[in-house]
Amino acid sequence: MKRVLLGFIIIHFAFKSEGQIVTNYLGDESYFYAQTKQINQFFRRFNAEEDLQGERLYKGDKYYRDLDLREKYLKMLFDMENPMIGGELKDEFISDVTDKSNPEYLDFYGGKWFAEVTASFDFKGKTETAVIFLELEHENLGMKWVINKVYFKPFADLFFTDSLVHKFIHPMSHELDFMNLIKVFQDKNDVEYYFDKDYRPDLKSIFLYEIKKGGLTFITIQNVRFHFFQIKNWYFEISEFNRSSKNSGWLISALTKIPEEQKDLLLKYIYYEK
């Protein structure tokens, strides 16, 4: 159902297997394939704030944010079964974030990352899919997840269905006490075309209204993924893979290099905004 990446972003690098030998001081390569079971663990491994045995590393520890350790860890944080994010693209990303002159790290509290939850709801007797976007918000001295956007196709399909439609209320309508509003509200399929040019339907409010009125009933969670925009000129997505291989858990499932000035376009695409 969900689109994977923007049409203008083409990832065409071939996948390369990661069979290299880990240096002695880093220990056995198999440690790197341990499942990344939690989102917090993904952050720690990305930043090299966890050792090969899964123990936390803190400032002052010998290998805390060690660039060699990071490089090895990062290679294991990708979905190895996805040929679209291998090869030169992945190597360039790892090189950028481990650059000795300007390394980049993920910040759990730094914003520019959010969750996308796909869930099932009962709507008018049918099971429909909703996409719910959540972000972290400061609350006193802590943080909390909040719903900041919702996409629900049955609601989205009600608005602006025909890009060729042009409607207007005659500029002299005030002289007729706006009696022509009768026609506006009779034409319910196109009534939004009479609104101001900046109008955009607030699907989140409609969604909340239907929840409160009992028109929508939550059923279950289908899927969860996370979108990251923190790394300069890069975007990546992580998804959870439950499989028997060691390359499982929360892994990078999509990666693209994108200029900072184009990230807003990608955000709109992810949010289903026209």
Residue range 241-261, pLDDT digits in tens: 988 778 889 999 999 999 999
| Domain total of the chain | 1
Residue 58's alpha-carbon distances to 34, 36, 274, in angstroms, are 21, 19, 44
Domain membership flag for residue 38: yes
Helices 67-75 and 39-47: crossing angle, nearest 10°?
Answer: 130
Q: Report yes or no: 4 and 82 within 8 Å, Cβ to Cβ.
A: no
Domain membership flag for residue 247: yes
Beta bridge partners of 139: 142
The string of pLDDT tens digits covering residues 33-46 is: 467 888 999 999 99
pLDDT band at 7 (very low <50, low <70, confident <90, very high): very low
Beta bridge partners of 217: 122
- Give the neighbor-by-neighbor strand order of the sheet with 126-139: 142-152, 126-139, 113-123, 216-228, 234-241, 249-257
Q: Residue 18 above 60 pLDDT?
A: no
What pLDDT, on a 0 to 100 scale, did the predictor assign at position 19? 35
| Residue 76 lies in domain | 24-111+229-270
The string of pLDDT tens digits covering residues 184-233 is: 778 888 888 878 888 788 999 999 999 999 999 999 999 999 999 999 99
Domain membership flag for residue 68: yes
The string of pLDDT tens digits covering residues 42-98 is: 999 999 998 877 889 999 999 999 998 898 889 889 998 888 887 899 999 999 999
Domain membership flag for residue 240: yes
The separation between CA 22 and the C-alpha centre of its own chain, rounded to angstroms, equals 32
Domain membership flag for residue 215: no
Under 8 Å CB-to-CB from 5, ≥6 apart: which residues? 11, 254, 256
What pLDDT, on a 0 to 100 scale, did the predictor assign at position 164? 65
Domain membership flag for residue 237: yes
138 token code pair: 């400061």
Q: Report yes or no: 79 and 247 within 8 Å, Cβ to Cβ.
A: yes
Domain membership flag for residue 17: no
Task: Find the mean pLDDT for residues 2-14.
Answer: 39
The string of pLDDT tens digits covering residues 85-136 is: 878 999 999 999 999 999 999 999 999 999 999 999 999 999 999 999 999 9
pLDDT band at 2 (very low <50, low <70, confident <90, very high): very low
Burial class (CB in 10 A: 0-12, 13-18, 19+), 214: exposed
Domain membership flag for residue 198: no
Under 8 Å CB-to-CB from 26, ≥6 apart: which residues? 52, 68, 69, 72
Q: Residue 9 above 70 pLDDT?
A: no
3-state secondary structure of 250: strand
* Alpha-carbon Rg for the chain in angstroms: 24
Q: Residue 20 above 50 pLDDT?
A: no
Prediction pTM value: 0.81
184 token code pair: 């506006």
